[in-house]
Structure 1
Amino acid sequence: MCQVGEDYGEPAPREPPPAPRPSREHKCVKCKEAQPVVVIRAGDAFCRDCFKAFYIHKFRAMLGKNRLIFPGEKVLLAWSGGPSSSSMVRQVLEGLSQDSAKRLRFVPGVIFIDEGAACGRSPEERAKTLAEVKPILQAIGFPWHVVALEEVFSLPPSVLRCSSQEPAAPDGAYKAAVDNFLQQQHVLGAGGGPGLAHGEEPLPQPRAQSAWDLQSLVRPPAAAQTEALSHLFCSVRTLTAKEELLQTLRVHLILHVARAHGYSKVMTGDSCTRLAIKLMTNLALGRGAFLAWDTGFSDERHGDVVVVRPMREHTLKEVAFYNRLFSVPSVFTPAVDTKAPEKASIHRLMEAFILRLQIQFPSTVSTVYRTSEKLAKAPRDGPAAGTCGPRCLLCMCTLDVDTADSATAFGVQTASHLSQIQSPTPLTETGTPQGLCCSPGGASRREDPQACIAEQLCYGCRVNMKDLGLGFGRAPGLSD
């Protein structure tokens, strides 16, 4: 019989004590003087000024360490209205100001894509969102572009081709470009311009846009295009494929606007937390071969336009604190996964998994993120770097499928499907089954547009095309 007061076995392990909150006795870990207002990690309490300097330094160090954006180069800022992209625009805006210690030397522009049709929003709701976006863009002062997602239907076919990639700049090219830029600005300042000291350059000021310009530059999309886009997204059977399709269309539209207006770089506001979630999501989607392109600082897969991610060192917690402390405006726009349950898509499931694990183990995001930094951008048995080999039509990555390799799951699926369709088919004079065409890899394919398109897609895009509801499930290698 149990005895009252007796202790059987070892006591249950106690939970670790919570991290101490900053009190009046604690000081900032940087200046050791001011009162802390932000706790980024356990024991890292910053005051307002030190946190701002720490935040700005991470952004500038990311750009300075990679040295991909040359002086005078046009850079397009992809602004979605969310916290991370809004913080990125604020960093660029402060970096171009006269009060900045080391001013940024590129020429920025901003693009905002209205994705209301893909999310099922009404015209009134989309107009309300644009009414919130326009004052923010006008206050920023950069040249801006507001385009609707429906404009993907009017893109030229050249967006599906890999543009010629410029050769890599030799060592010392960046320093030579900076010296040349400073020398030109010094000559312009000495030749009758405003008084400029050596090393201080006047950047081109953005053109102020009047209210009439704001109304004339934003053209409502055609009703037929809106209906076609809504029908396309309604035909997608899973939320996972819908999010991948939306991301693909968004990237193609941004790249087209960048090429049309002379931008050679595109900045996105992907934070460290988002990149960690994206890395795990892409692994689950079968895009492991492209992790270095999808999560690295630079993405050169498109050739003439390079995508950079300068916010990849900032966590969502830091972004939220910065926007709150320094009143960074943002606009909430519902996405395709808004109010979706946790298991509605692979993206939502991975996001919930990483964030929940981050709460229990605070080093989760940083560990996954550091892993992505070690990935190399080497082509998979493809042509040499700098050349443009076979690319996926949707994501523009090097094709990672090899139907001749029966050791992979994809090869087994393809061989099984071919054996089913070849058995009842008569042979031609050359011995090829009638109605089948031979692909460059040596495997036979039906003369079907859907099959021909599937052959030009990578493994991850082929899997997503199964859920589009357009018949791609009958393509070779995609059978259930």
Structure 2
Amino acid sequence: MCQVDEDYGELERAAVPSVSKKCVKCKEAPAALVIRAGDAYCRVCFKDYFIHKFRAMLGKNRVIFPGEKVLLAVSGGPSSCSMLRQVQEGLSQNANKKLRFLPGIAYIDEGAVIGQSVDERQRTVSELQALFKATGFPFYILPLEQVLDLPSSVVATAPSPSERPATAYKAAVDHFVQSDGANLLTQPEELEEKPLPLVQESRTRLLQQLIGSVNTLTAREDLLNRLRQHLLVHTARTEGYSKLMLGDSCTRLAVKLLTSISLGRGAQLAQDTGFLDSRYGDIISVRPMRDYSAKEIAYYNHIFSVPSVVIPSLDTKKTDKASIQRLTEHFVTKLQADFPSTVSTIYRTGEKLQNACRKSSAGDHCDRCLLCMCTLDTAVEKASAFQATLISDQLSRTKSKGGSSTEIPRQSPGRPESAAPAGLCCSSAGGLDCGRSARGGGYCSSK
């Protein structure tokens, strides 16, 4: 029996990861951080690990060819700013495996959507403009109001360039190395000072009216994402960029995958969360940060002083149940804290997904959505949720001859199930007069 004064000794506690252990890579330097249980790195090894993962992602896929112009979509957040630092270091002279493309930066000012004043928007843009100037890359400040003036060609799939064979990448690298490829770093002297873009107040009100016409926060965030994507693609086309580089992290893609399933976009997951997104044809989007978790990016930015700008968004200071996106993010991050393999499991599942429309030998003739430019998933069987929705919509639009909606009388309580209401021809004539209006009631019709 337990006694109050009984000596149980010291209770053993579960082993907690400590930064006092040695680095798992070099086995010599003391660890400065712990990414996962058992993965402790020193500062030097963690930087090498972070850089290698970024360049290995680009080198493994071999999508960006030497000399191509790539537009970096930088929102000012930790992930996109970390991506900008990786590109900047990859183009430096002392880089081990240099990047061989021409980068540009695009930032979309969304201050009108969240109700910021003109001074607040100018302050944020000036801060980011100073950050972009330090990189030496050409940059474009794009107010979101410009999406109202986009041509209709932005929602049309342009003809994609012909696919190159696997040996074309190596041949392009050899040709680039033999030629003078040092002109990649001559851009800082050629940059011109660009004034901050001015936006008319009428266009701002029109954009706010568009966003305000959407009832739920879930739909607003989804609409804002589509508008942002159209503006980036249009800028890449007009400025001569063939690739668009996005800064979506592994954690963000895991949240996006579950959110898309909840919103009924399961057929488009391969393009929304994959490394390669070729829905626009001539402009190909890549996600080189998709192997990094939010924790790794936060550690890297803190240790190596990567600057970022805190910019509010639509869901800032909202509750966890304000939208499906917000609720899914809260669910994934909370589950990740208790089970560290949650994000990686969701992410690895998303890697196995494929596009619903596969290219045939005659070409890709799949119909596409005019808003998101993804392949329509309407070629389904009759016993499907999509067909049930169509039938329900067709029945709700059916009108009687008098102009009122056709209604089926409800079964009165206590009445036998076999007794049909008066006026139904099928119940009175046994189906012989089906197709004719019985007693002028109009319940039965050939259609």
**Which category describes the TM-score, using the shorter chain as reference length?**
0.7 to 0.9
Closer/same/farther in 2, CA of residues 127 and 308 from structure 1, 3 Å limit: same
- The equivalent of 1:48 in structure 2 is 43
User: 1:206 is matched with which residue: 148, 171, 187?
Assistant: 187
- The equivalent of 1:22 in structure 2 is 19
- The equivalent of 1:422 in structure 2 is 398
Structure 2 residue 364 is matched with structure 1 residue 387: yes
Structure 1: runs of 5+ lacking an equivalent: 7-13, 186-199, 427-480
The question of whether the paired residues in 2 share the 8 Å contact of 1:269 and 1:309 is answered with: yes
Structure 1 residue 149: deviation in Å? Answer: 0.2
Q: What is the DSSP-based 3-state SS (H/G/I as helix, E as strand, rest coil) of the residue aligned with 2:353?
A: coil
Q: Report the Cα distance in structure 1 between the residues aligned to 2:362 and 2:312, rounded to whole angstroms.
A: 39
Q: Report the Cα distance in structure 2 between the residues aligned to 1:73 and 1:142, rounded to whole angstroms.
A: 14
Question: For residues 277-299 of structure 1, what are the alpha-carbon distances to aligned partners after superposition, in whole Å with 9 as ceiling and x for unaligned?
Answer: 11111010100001111111110
Compare 74-83 and 14-23 and name the one that shifted more: 14-23
The 5 Å alignment of 1:125-140 reads 125-140=120-135
Closer/same/farther in 2, CA of residues 100 and 416 from structure 1, 3 Å limit: same
- The equivalent of 1:396 in structure 2 is 373
Closer/same/farther in 2, CA of residues 401 and 46 from structure 1, 3 Å limit: same
The question of whether the paired residues in 2 share the 8 Å contact of 1:115 and 1:149 is answered with: yes
- The equivalent of 1:469 in structure 2 is none
- The equivalent of 2:321 in structure 1 is 343
The 5 Å alignment of 1:63-212 reads 63-185=58-180, 201-208=182-189
Closer/same/farther in 2, CA of residues 418 and 313 from structure 1, 3 Å limit: same
- The equivalent of 1:257 in structure 2 is 235
Structure 1 residue 203: deviation in Å? Answer: 2.3
- The equivalent of 1:361 in structure 2 is 339
Q: Report the Cα distance in structure 2 between the residues aligned to 1:385 and 1:264, rounded to whole angstroms.
A: 24
Q: Report the Cα distance in structure 1 between the residues aligned to 2:292 and 2:362, rounded to whole angstroms.
A: 30
The question of whether the paired residues in 1 share the 8 Å contact of 2:19 and 2:31 is answered with: yes
The question of whether the paired residues in 1 share the 8 Å contact of 2:66 and 2:176 is answered with: yes
Structure 1 residue 108: deviation in Å? Answer: 0.2
Q: What is the DSSP-based 3-state SS (H/G/I as helix, E as strand, rest coil) of the residue aligned with 1:307?
A: strand
Q: What is the DSSP-based 3-state SS (H/G/I as helix, E as strand, rest coil) of the residue aligned with 1:108?
A: strand
The question of whether the paired residues in 2 share the 8 Å contact of 1:293 and 1:377 is answered with: yes
Structure 2 residue 205 is matched with structure 1 residue 237: no
Q: What is the DSSP-based 3-state SS (H/G/I as helix, E as strand, rest coil) of the residue aligned with 1:203?
A: helix
The two structures, once aligned, show a CA RMSD in angstroms of: 2.1
Q: How many residues align?
A: 396
Q: Report the Cα distance in structure 2 between the residues aligned to 1:156 and 1:15, rounded to whole angstroms.
A: 68
Structure 1 residue 414: deviation in Å? Answer: 1.5
Structure 1 residue 164: deviation in Å? Answer: 1.0
Closer/same/farther in 2, CA of residues 285 and 158 from structure 1, 3 Å limit: same
Q: What is the DSSP-based 3-state SS (H/G/I as helix, E as strand, rest coil) of the residue aligned with 1:39?
A: strand
Structure 1 residue 368: deviation in Å? Answer: 0.6
Q: What is the DSSP-based 3-state SS (H/G/I as helix, E as strand, rest coil) of the residue aligned with 2:281?
A: coil
Q: Report the Cα distance in structure 2 between the residues aligned to 1:252 and 1:58, rounded to whole angstroms.
A: 29
Letter in 2 for 1:418: Q
- The equivalent of 1:9 in structure 2 is none
Q: Percent identity?
A: 53
Question: For residues 36-61 of structure 1, what are the alpha-carbon distances to aligned partners after superposition, in whole Å with 9 as ceiling and x for unaligned?
Answer: 11110112111100000000000000
Q: Report the Cα distance in structure 2 between the residues aligned to 1:119 and 1:94, rounded to whole angstroms.
A: 34
Q: What is the DSSP-based 3-state SS (H/G/I as helix, E as strand, rest coil) of the residue aligned with 2:140?
A: strand
Question: For residues 357-385 of structure 1, what are the alpha-carbon distances to aligned partners after superposition, in whole Å with 9 as ceiling and x for unaligned?
Answer: 111110001111111111122417x8668
Structure 2 residue 206 is matched with structure 1 residue 228: yes
Question: For residues 255-306 of structure 1, what are the alpha-carbon distances to aligned partners after superposition, in whole Å with 9 as ceiling and x for unaligned?
Answer: 0000001100000110111111111110101000011111111101110000
Letter in 1 for 2:385: A
The question of whether the paired residues in 1 share the 8 Å contact of 2:268 and 2:356 is answered with: no
Q: TM-score, normalised by structure 2?
A: 0.84
- The equivalent of 1:441 in structure 2 is none
Larger Rg: 1 or 2? 2
Question: For residues 102-137 of structure 1, what are the alpha-carbon distances to aligned partners after superposition, in whole Å with 9 as ceiling and x for unaligned?
Answer: 110000000000000111111121111112111101
Letter in 2 for 1:348: R
Closer/same/farther in 2, CA of residues 293 and 384 from structure 1, 3 Å limit: farther
Closer/same/farther in 2, CA of residues 15 and 125 from structure 1, 3 Å limit: farther
Q: Report the Cα distance in structure 2 between the residues aligned to 1:81 and 1:113, rounded to whole angstroms.
A: 10
Q: What is the DSSP-based 3-state SS (H/G/I as helix, E as strand, rest coil) of the residue aligned with 1:145?
A: strand
The 5 Å alignment of 1:32-43 reads 32-43=27-38
Q: Report the Cα distance in structure 1 between the residues aligned to 2:299 and 2:120, rounded to whole angstroms.
A: 29
Compare 414-423 and 38-47 and name the one that shifted more: 414-423
Letter in 1 for 2:367: P
Question: For residues 200-229 of structure 1, what are the alpha-carbon distances to aligned partners after superposition, in whole Å with 9 as ceiling and x for unaligned?
Answer: 74524223477x823x2x221111110001
- The equivalent of 1:407 in structure 2 is 383
Structure 1 residue 423: deviation in Å? Answer: 4.4
